[in-house]
Amino acid sequence: MTVQDRIKSEVESNDVVLFMKGTHQFPMCGFSGQVVQILDYIGVNFKGINVLDDADIRQGIKDYANWPTIPQLYIKGEFIGGCDIVREMFQSGELVSHLNQHGIAATMPQKS
């Protein structure tokens, strides 16, 4: 199985996948940490894949999406973007709407 096949399998077999530096519990870069915080805040379960564990995946994911940076978020097989795009979608409410439209429960907690 090639690296591209492995990536495709992960993206297609999980509803929400985050290719990131580090793990959910211990992000190893600020950008990965921001996306983890956003997904946690809206209550979305996701599969995190630590690109630091595998150099082939680290380069392969950049080639897969033709996107030069990590983290990379995928929802239902669709590449969403990196930290800046995810943050903008979160702030506008578009991220929660997009997830809900794809049958993934996500909510914006009410401000007190």
pLDDT digit of tens for each residue in the chain (112 aa)? Answer: 899 999 999 999 999 999 999 999 999 999 999 999 999 999 999 999 999 999 999 999 999 999 999 999 999 999 999 999 999 999 999 999 999 999 999 998 776 5
d(Cα 13, Cα 103) in Å, to the nearest integer?
Answer: 15
Nearest partner of 82 among 43, 15, 35, 23, judged by Cα = 35
The domains of the chain, with CATH numbers, are 3-101 (3.40.30.10)
Please state whether 43 falls in left (phi above 0), alpha (psi between -120 and 50) or beta.
left
